[in-house]
Amino acid sequence: MSDTAEMRATLAELGALARGWLDGGGEALPPFGVAWLSDVLAAAMDEHRMPRPYLYPTEEGGVQAEWSIGLHLMVSARFDLSARSVFMHSLDLRADAVVEAEHVLDGMEDADAAETVATFVLARLFDAGQPPVLAA
């Protein structure tokens, strides 16, 4: 299975979580938001060669995507699926640097939203001196 297919399968699993998935709390992910995010991340991975993220549901009904290099670099993107927005954060312990960005992706074409996310993620990975791992 390709990285893109694995990402889509993971998002589908997260999308199947019922309300209360987190010990009685935790909102269900909106189906339209899961489909939108799946398309945005697929475009970022396929068109910009962004590595596949680890994906986690958020208690508020969103998705957190994470990438890391060793123990010194963590890049995350927290997607609000209802608002179609993202808060991105990077922490580089070697450089003692934090970079944050917030974008409203609503109203953007999926390709433009994908470029926005991929640009942030890839810049942080390259800034850390590590090219992203490319899918075979």
Structure tokens at 116: 């926005």
- Can you tell me which residue has the tokens 């917030």? 102
Q: Is residue 134 part of a domain?
A: no
Structure pTM? 0.90
Q: Is residue 42 part of a domain?
A: yes
Question: Between 60 and 70, whose confidence is greater?
Answer: 60
Rounded-to-integer distance, Cα 105 and Cα 80, Å: 10
Q: Is residue 136 part of a domain?
A: no
Judge whether residue 136 has pLDDT over 50.
no
- Could you tell me which residues are beta bridge partners of residue 90? 75, 99
Q: Is residue 30 part of a domain?
A: yes
User: What b/e readout covers 16-39, taking b as 16+ CB neighbours within 10 angstroms?
Assistant: eeeeebeeeebbbbeeebbebbbb
* Domain, as residue range, for 28: 3-127
Q: Is residue 25 part of a domain?
A: yes
pLDDT band at residue 68 under the 50/70/90 scheme? confident
Q: Is residue 132 part of a domain?
A: no
Judge whether residue 32 has pLDDT over 90.
yes
Strand stretches in 24-71, DSSP E: 54-57, 63-69
